[in-house]
Amino acid sequence: MVESVSAYNKLEDLLRDLVDECRQYTKLGHVATYIPILSKADPNKIGICIHTIDNKEIAVGDVDDEFSIQSISKTISLIITYTLIKDMNIIKNTFGVEASANKFNSLIQLETLSDIPTNPMINSGAIACAGLLVDKISFDEFIDFARKLCDSDKIRLSEETYMSEKTTGFRNYAIAYLLKSKNIIKTDVEKTLDFYFKMCSLLVTARSLSRYGSVLANGGTAPWSKTSLIDYKTARRTKTLMQTCGMYDASGYFALDVGMPTKSGVGGGLLSIADNKCGIGVFSPSLDEKGNSVAGCRMLEILSRTLKLHNFDKDYSIIDRLL
């Protein structure tokens, strides 16, 4: 039982028990079906990797299985937006920063509340970001940046996922054209969507996400190279938006009970952060009805409680003892 944390001497042992204990929760969800290729995922997969700001890495389970990054890519497009767009007014006219209690692919608030997407962590906001970026960087540059963040040359585009998104993602087309009609997307819609679909189709692993998380936890500086990949303030903003809006319409519940900035993707990945301590990458593609990994969320919840990683309940001496 993981919760008896004092019984452990090594984090790896604890993580192994955690994975074993939470494997049962994969039965409670379903792999995503909204694009055909996602439905081919193996619902039994489960893995977790922790990468500390001291560059230690503890990995258990299916941490090297590739899966599509999906919505977790919204954090990368956000970082690039904050990095490349210096005029804050352009950003303020493109997306808001308020959490939304609506579904991730909702169009309602675009129609009723404001003319801009509520935040950059839902589809409309990320598509609006893509509209800002598509004329500024090539998608190869996007991949390059993702590889640096994840310290992995293996990050690459899944052509199959990309084609699946492109040929069936009709609601995203609807969102993009609505943004175009409101002049929030100022460039070509098809090019914007292409960029967005490609972003979502990057293949990552739990291990690579944990490294990316450690960069954010470390204020933007890569633990392995000591070079700054993300501006400190941009890292802070990204963590905050993950905290308030990262888990779709379960963000509030997650902030309450887990309390770590986390972003999920319907590919089954979770990118989580214990600030100033470590990044956590999780993979388990069986999803709950909100679109979040069932076993993955459960693992983070138990970990937060056991290791005291909650934002308002931090005590890093516990994890330090196990590292």
- Residue ranges binding its own copies (CB under 8 A): 96-102, 106-109, 111-114, 118-119, 170-171, 173-178, 180-181, 189, 232, 235-237, 239-241, 243-245, 249-253, 255-256, 259, 261, 275, 310-313
Task: Determine the Cα angle at 318 with ends 316 and 321, to 5°.
Answer: 110
> Is the CB of 109 or the CB of 205 nearer to its own copies?
109
What is the 8-class DSSP label of residue 43?
T
CB of 102 to its own copies, least distance (A): 7
Give yes or no: 248 in active site: yes
CB of 76 to its own copies, least distance (A): 18
Q: Which of 25, 82, 162, 248 is catalytic?
A: 248
Give yes or no: 294 in active site: no
Helices (H), the chain: 11-22, 73-84, 88-92, 108-112, 123-133, 139-150, 159-168, 170-181, 189-200, 206-217, 232-245, 251-257, 294-307, 317-322
CB of 106 to its own copies, least distance (A): 7
> Is the CB of 61 or the CB of 96 nearer to its own copies?
96
Give yes or no: 74 in active site: yes
Local structure of 58: helix, strand or coil: strand
CB of 125 to its own copies, least distance (A): 11
Q: Which of 31, 60, 73, 74 is catalytic?
A: 74
CB of 297 to its own copies, least distance (A): 15
Say if CB 259 and CB 309 are below 8 A apart.
yes
> Is the CB of 39 or the CB of 102 nearer to its own copies?
102
> Is the CB of 16 or the CB of 182 nearer to its own copies?
182
Give yes or no: 82 in active site: no
Nearest to 216 by CA among 194, 242, 192, 248: 242
- Burial (0-12, 13-18, 19+ Cβ within 10 Å), 168: middle
232-262 b/e (C-beta count within 10 Å ≥ 16 → b): eebbebbbebbbbbbbbbbbeebbeebbbbb
Give yes or no: 8 in active site: no
> Is the CB of 34 or the CB of 139 nearer to its own copies?
34
The DSSP secondary structure of 95-115, one letter per residue, reads ------SS-TT--HHHHHT-S
Residues involved in catalysis: 71, 74, 196, 248, 266
